[in-house]
Amino acid sequence: MKKTDMAKGAAKKLLGGERGAGATFGGSAAAPVDRKEQRKRDQALGLVPFAVKLNGDLVAQLHAQAKERDIEMNELVGELLAKALA
């Protein structure tokens, strides 16, 4: 057995074994969403993917506010941007 194979095996043990196709990071029990269906729903709503890089502190504030208001992050950022641009 090669040294790299041994390292891979050790990493699998640390991560809790092999993950199945439906497994999610962090062990979330939420049902997986079909990506094609999600894209169709997003397109019907006129949503467009838009990636940005933000400061970590700002992202933490956004997460806290979204959790406090019990809304999704996308909805919160959309509201804040619309308010700022108005």
What pLDDT is recorded for position 38?
87
Tell me the pLDDT tens digit for each residue of 32-84: 778 899 889 889 989 888 899 999 999 999 999 999 999 999 999 999 999 99
Tell me the pLDDT tens digit for each residue of 16-46: 755 555 555 555 556 677 889 988 988 998 9
3-state secondary structure of 68: helix
What pLDDT is recorded for position 6?
74
Question: How far does the chain reach from its first CA to its final CA, in angstroms?
Answer: 63
> What is the spatial distance between Cα 72 and Cα 47, in angstroms, rounded to a whole number?
14
**Between 11 and 57, whose confidence is greater?**
57
AA letter at 57:
D
AA letter at 34:
D
